[in-house]
Amino acid sequence: MSSIKIITVAAVLTSFLVTGCNENSTTAPPPDTKNGFQTEAVAKIFAENCATSGCHISTSPAGSLSISNLSDLLRGSNNRSGANIPNYGGESIIPFRLEESLLYQILLRKVTPTSPHDLTSLTQAEIDTVKNWLMNGARDSHNNLPFQNPAYRVYVCNQNSDKISVIDGDLKVVSAIIDVDFIPTTDSPHMVKEAGDYLYATLIGSGKFLKIRKSDNTIVGEVNGITKAGMIQIHPNGLKAYVSRSSTSQPDFDQIVVVDIVNMQKIKDILLPAPGVPHGLAITPDGTKLYVGNLTLDRISIINAETDEYQDDIILMPQTEPMQAGVSPDGKYLYISSRGFAQLLVYDTETDTLITQVPVSGMPMHITFTSDGNKIYVGSMMMHNVNVIEKNGNTWTKTKEITHPGFSMLHGCDITADDRYVYVSSRNTNNLFQPYFVVENEGPPGTIGIIDTQTDQVVKLIEIEEFGAGLVVEK
């Protein structure tokens, strides 16, 4: 195709760009001979094979995915199953990643169903052109990398894939993958937190605590020898972190670990009064008290977070099984998700006494709050829903259960800084959610549900890698 012909295609397609695939649609830049892609060769392949009538063109594109230009392609889709699963979609490409880029796997015919993409026949040279473009970062016509400056990012552990997915908060698609693969067996990334310019992640299988630079997703430090490294709590002073044990551990741990996150060195073990599975962690905003939930001993240990010394225990009812913990933004309340009783326990942090017990769905997991503390979200692993609890004065009431066909064994959750969206991860190791496109040699994907807190509805569901676990929203 000549440059003149490509210009004509671009001009026709651009007239449709005012209609976007989702709420993040923006006006595309003026047409050029590359349709926003790095080269005319890449633009030609997509214009002639994908952005054609009835397929992925800007007006009513198939699966709500337009490939008319790079800007549209990066937005991904929001109707992957033809509305059989509401608001289900996600990215089509991930820069530098061939195996995780669905579009490229479709070109290789490694995806089922094959129809209607089996009608597209690219030469090996054309496939190599797309491959090289992706491996060079899927750059635009000005040689810029995509997904560079979103309002925020979300980082999600994929416990069965040794990867951390990075989600672009503006476009709500996976924009990058961080590899955390160290040992021949599964490293099992479990939890991730962020502070300043860095991420911190635990690996259950290899017993590591990692420091990752957010600007380029490079691992810049690690602490080894933390057996069954589990949850993370970063001290408000930004100098140290607490690391607990995985909930899958044998009940023989009587300590959690304190790490200097500036120099990435272990500071000490905090000894607890008896062995068990110290798992859930929560700290008061003023950095004075750390709470450690012991899953098998049915108690909450209280740590002086200034001296890092054990102080006391809150003894719980037998079979409470405190799974996760969180402290309200104002520091007044400690919340405990009771796996055994399917309750959210509310404690006064000044007296460390129980205020109330709120019934929730089976096996409650991670907890997140709106910034005023008046709305609490708790995912349920067993019942595959998100519980909404509202605080009114000194009363806590469960008001809603948020469900979605893409929810399967919910695990992690966190909320955006502006309180607008809650992100919740699904393990989906039971394959309850089945993806529309199945990629060859891949296990069941985890999912991320994105909940609009103004309506408490799932506005988008996207796939990640295997076993979605702990996640954090960049603040």
Q: Assign 204 a pLDDT band (cuts: 50, 70, 90).
A: very high
pLDDT at 337: 98
Residue 331: inside a domain, yes or no? Answer: no
State yes or no: pLDDT of 9 exceeds 70. Answer: no
Amino acid at 131: K
Task: Please name which of 297, 377, 306 lies closest in space to residue 335, comparing C-alpha atoms.
Answer: 377
pLDDT at 32: 64
Query: What is the token pair recorded at 408?
Result: 């399967």
Residue 32: inside a domain, yes or no? Answer: yes
- 278 or 7: which leads in pLDDT: 278
Its pTM stands at 0.92
Q: How many other β-carbons are positioned within 10 Å of the β-carbon of residue 443?
A: 14
State yes or no: pLDDT of 403 exceeds 60. Answer: yes
Angstrom distance (rounded) from CA 96 to CA 163: 14
Tell me which of 50-59, 70-79, 105-114, 391-400 is least confident. 50-59
Q: Which residue has the tokens 């008319």?
A: 68
Question: Which CA distances in Å does 201 have to 212, 243, 445, 473?
Answer: 8, 10, 20, 14
Angstrom distance (rounded) from CA 31 to CA 5: 13
Angstrom distance (rounded) from CA 73 to CA 457: 25
- Could you tell me what percent of the chain has a pLDDT over 90? 89
Q: Assign 119 a pLDDT band (cuts: 50, 70, 90).
A: confident
Q: Which residue has the tokens 């490694």?
A: 110
Query: What is the token pair recorded at 66?
Result: 């337009």
Instruction: Give the dihedral sign, CA 40/42/43/45.
Output: positive
Query: What is the token pair recorded at 35?
Result: 């349709």
Angstrom distance (rounded) from CA 292 to CA 314: 10
Domain that holds residue 15: 3-135
Residue 406: inside a domain, yes or no? Answer: no
When pLDDT is averaged across residues 317-344 and rounded to a whole number, the result is 98
CA 196 to chain centre: 18
Q: Assign 114 a pLDDT band (cuts: 50, 70, 90).
A: confident
Residue 321: inside a domain, yes or no? Answer: no
DSSP notation for 156-211: EEETTTTEEEEEETTTTEEEEEEE---SSS---EEEEEEETTEEEEEETTTTEEEE
Angstrom distance (rounded) from CA 31 to CA 11: 6
Residue 216 neighbours by CB under 8 Å, 6+ apart: none
Q: What is the strand order of the sheet 253-260 is part of?
A: 229-234, 240-245, 253-260, 265-276
Into how many domains does the chain fold? Answer: 1
pLDDT digits (tens, 9 = 90+) for 15-47: 333 333 333 434 444 456 799 999 999 999 999
pLDDT at 58: 79
pLDDT digits (tens, 9 = 90+) for 416-446: 999 999 999 999 999 999 999 999 999 999 9
State yes or no: pLDDT of 64 exceeds 80. Answer: yes
Query: Are 227 and 207 in contact, with CB atoms under 8 Å apart?
Result: yes
Residue 157: inside a domain, yes or no? Answer: no
Q: Which residue has the tokens 């017990």?
A: 357
What angle separates helix 124-135 from helix 40-49, to the nearest 10 degrees? 120
State yes or no: pLDDT of 86 exceeds 90. Answer: yes
Angstrom distance (rounded) from CA 171 to CA 151: 10
pLDDT at 137: 98
Q: What is the mean pLDDT of the chain?
A: 93
211 bridge partner residues: 200, 221
pLDDT at 20: 33
- The percent helix, strand, coil of the chain (3-state, each to 5) is 10, 40, 50
pLDDT at 21: 35
Residue 297: inside a domain, yes or no? Answer: no
Phi, psi at 325, each rounded to 5°: -140, 155
Residue 61: inside a domain, yes or no? Answer: yes
Q: What is the strand order of the sheet 410-415 is part of?
A: 88-89, 457-463, 447-452, 421-426, 410-415
pLDDT at 335: 98
pLDDT at 28: 44
Residue 94: inside a domain, yes or no? Answer: yes
When pLDDT is averaged across residues 293-319 and rounded to a whole number, the result is 98
